[in-house]
Amino acid sequence: MKILLIGSTGQLGREIIKSSPNDIYLITPSRLEFDLKKTKECYEYILNLSPDWIINSGAFTNVEKAEIEEELAYKINALGPQILAKALSKSGGKLLQISTDYVFNGQQNYPYKTDQKVSPINKYGFSKAKGEEYIKQYLPSNNQSNILRTSWLVGPNGNNFALKIMQLLNNRDEIKVICDQISSPTTTLSLADAIWKTIKKNEEYTKKNKSFPIINHFCNDGLASWYDLAVTIKDICLETGLIKKAGEIKPIQSNEYPSKTQRPKYSVLDTFKTKKTIGLKNSHWRNELLKCFNNSSPLKI
């Protein structure tokens, strides 16, 4: 099976490569070779390659910058997936698009199901929601559309909350972290595993002429605030010797933190149906975070 991975140098892309099954021919172009901003070149690249699958882990993920660089965020997160879907509608391949809990407004206090209407409250969430919309528009059938939403991605590489907290703990006597936004932290290792299992299960469904769900939710189990996550990262780092000293972590409310954008207060995703469909066991985010740090190469802070 020939699979094109977009975003191969990102934190998730690296884990997708590491966990790639042996029977997969994985193509991992650099951003110079495949730039989501250059839609015409991307379209031609896909038609020439004719992959069986595209995994799109590439995205404009800086929520704050998306408010300022709205056009760029939309080009990458919405028009990028649109051109992937257009090309695959011609070549016949399938798309697995990584999406986000930020397509929801966070105003309900129970987990969001896969079939709920999206209602983003910031430019980042809006661009990702439009990307989903375009994919469903151009790949409406034959199990070609696969949208996998996740939340609060952390891992041992790249630019993410866990590594930022490690740096701050090592360099400051005190850090303030928001305590009134709630979701489910998810590691890049566990999401990469879910991605490969989704592709495998989709292929099984297709062979049996069964319809595979277009939208799925995958996150690690359990709820947390950014403050809860930061405290756990501190504990793990001290226990494992990743840092020798650590500053104090103080909880603050969202309105105490200077920000250009709104963020969902509660963006927990309901993952029950997805985990049952693709055959994944439940695992708490704390366990997955510890596993992520223990099984990875030494982290640099």
Strand-strand pairing, 224-225 and 182-183? antiparallel
Is residue 281 classed exposed, middle or buried when 0-12, 13-18 and 19+ CB atoms within 10 A define those classes?
A: exposed
Instruction: Kindly state whether residue 294 falls inside one of the protein's structural domains.
Output: no
Helix or strand run (H / E) with residue 97:
strand 94-100
Q: What is the DSSP letter of 270?
A: -
Q: Structurally, how many domains does the chain consist of?
A: 1
89 belongs to a structural domain: yes
In a domain, 215, yes or no: yes
In a domain, 246, yes or no: no
Tens-digit pLDDT string for the chain (301 aa): 999 999 999 999 999 999 999 999 999 999 999 999 999 999 999 999 999 999 999 999 999 999 999 999 999 999 999 999 999 999 999 999 999 999 999 999 999 999 999 999 999 999 999 999 999 999 998 899 999 999 999 988 878 898 899 889 888 989 999 999 999 999 999 999 999 999 999 999 999 999 999 999 999 999 999 999 999 999 998 888 888 888 899 999 999 988 889 999 999 999 999 999 999 999 999 999 998 877 654 444 4
Residue 42 maps to a domain: yes
Domain region containing 136? 2-152+186-219+267-283
268 contacts 217 by C-beta, under 8 angstroms:
no
SS3 114: coil
CATH of the domain at 65: 3.40.50.720
Residue 180 lies in a domain: no
Q: Which two tokens stand for residue 188?
A: 């890049």
Angle between helices 123-138 and 80-91 (to 10 degrees): 10
| Rounded Cα distance, 100 and 103, in Å | 6
